[in-house]
Amino acid sequence: MKVIRAKSAGFCFGVKRAIDIAEKCAENGARKVFTDGPLIHNRQMMERLREYGVHEIGDYKSEGSIDGEIKSLGKGLAPDSSVLVFRAHGVSPERREYLRSLGLPCKDATCPDVGKIAGVIKMHANRGYTIVIVGDPDHPEVIGLLGYAKSGNGYVVKNKADIDALPDISGDICMVSQSTMFTDDYREISEYFKKRFPRTLVIDTICGATKERQKDVQVLVENGAQAIVVIGGKHSANTVKLAIMVKRTGLPCFHIETLKELDLSAVKKFDIIGVTAGASTPGFLIDEVCSALEKL
């Protein structure tokens, strides 16, 4: 079996940066590192980070108090032996203030691309724009970004139905997207939005890593892949979108988190298999899958 591995498969810059920050803070287990929700959206990598002393606390959306969990996990430690790391998806200004109030040293592992979107929102909100974010309202990135809009002056839309349900908005509007949106979907939604709200400034905030991975799916198709394996977390936004993109090509798609989930008997009938992975998927998981496929 011929295996074609997408060039962009695996860690993007923002994810690698967040992991490097957490590992450095842990000092080979000498310090306890806490992350407010998962640092990145890959369960297997978070389990490996735990071995280095990195502990995920709180919930998926980074909501509610985490003070009790910190005290429980940090029992018996000196105050200077723990550090709190802000997750790669970023947090709202209110959440950031709360985390800093806990009294632990803090390190910011927010993806720079997400930080840029927050800056765009903050700047335009201060200029009086209403903010509209295209994305998943339950995703931690979107929850954090919405916090940078003026209170009551920000909205999240996911589809045309959400746009139709919006109240009338007067004045200027600034539209941004979740960093992991489909390029074509964002264009379609923004064009539909502007028909109702012409005074809308649309800013392309889809990150380069997302665009690169989406483009590489098409490259796999052009190189003759008969089916494509997508490796990454089932709750990872960019990985899920890769799987959707593969399905849109019409090719069979196998979305798995690890090799043990892959039905090898089902993929054996293909001569050429494409392999891609989300931006938070570690290389060791990709290598394992590719190796197993090459042996078929």
Residue 123 has pLDDT above 90, yes or no: yes
Residue 77 has pLDDT above 80, yes or no: no
Per CATH, the number for 13-111 is 3.40.50.11270
**pLDDT, position 240:** 95
141 among known catalytic residues: yes
pLDDT band at 79 (very low <50, low <70, confident <90, very high): low
Residue 288 has pLDDT above 70, yes or no: yes
**pLDDT, position 60:** 87
pLDDT band at 73 (very low <50, low <70, confident <90, very high): confident
Average pLDDT, the chain: 94
Per CATH, the number for 2-10+208-294 is 3.40.1010.20
**Looking at domain 113-202, which CATH architecture does it have?**
3-Layer(aba) Sandwich (3.40)
* Mean pLDDT value across residues 208-216: 95
Of the candidates 23, 27, 141, 257, the residue annotated as catalytic is 141
Task: Please choose, from the candidates 63, 73, 76, the residue with its C-alpha nearest in 3D space to the C-alpha of residue 143.
Answer: 63
* Mean pLDDT value across residues 104-125: 97
- List every span in the chain annotated with CATH 3.40.1010.20: 2-10+208-294, 113-202
**pLDDT, position 75:** 62
Inter-residue contact 282 to 48 (CB < 8 Å): yes
**pLDDT, position 199:** 97
Cα–Cα separations (whole angstroms), residue 169 to 152, 166, 178? 12, 8, 21
Residue 160 has pLDDT above 60, yes or no: yes
